[in-house]
Amino acid sequence: MSDTKFSKAITDQGFQSQVLQAKGLQLVDFWAEWCGPCRVLGPVVDSLAEEYQGRAEVFKLNADENQATPAQFGIRGLPTVLFFKDGQLVDQVIGNVPRDVLKLAIERHL
């Protein structure tokens, strides 16, 4: 998955500056090409990126192509969405969950 109009692809190299040093709320969707549930959740994450444009940044990290960041945060299952506020990990959602579950997590940290 590459950049969409509202979400951005991110790599291990950009993670520090774009997420851990950023202010505000960042969501990072960890996914892989082979992961069926990731493909289902991807459009949901994209729609939330559009809905929360200007209030939260949404990134997508391919866990097969960028293995250091998933290892750093102990990601063991895909899809996983991590929520960072002002560079600090504040929440996580694992698996293909309903849109409302992600939306509630966003609202809780805005």
Catalytic: which of 38, 41, 45, 102?
A: 38
Pairing relationship of beta strands 80-85 and 88-94 according to DSSP bridges: antiparallel
Query: Is 89 noted as a catalytic residue in this protein?
Result: no
Which of 35, 41, 45, 78 is catalytic? The answer is 35
- Under a CB-based contact definition with an 8 Å cutoff, are residues 30 and 63 in contact? yes
Active site residue 60: no
Rounded Cα–Cα distance for residues 110 and 97 (Å): 20
Catalytic residues: 35, 38
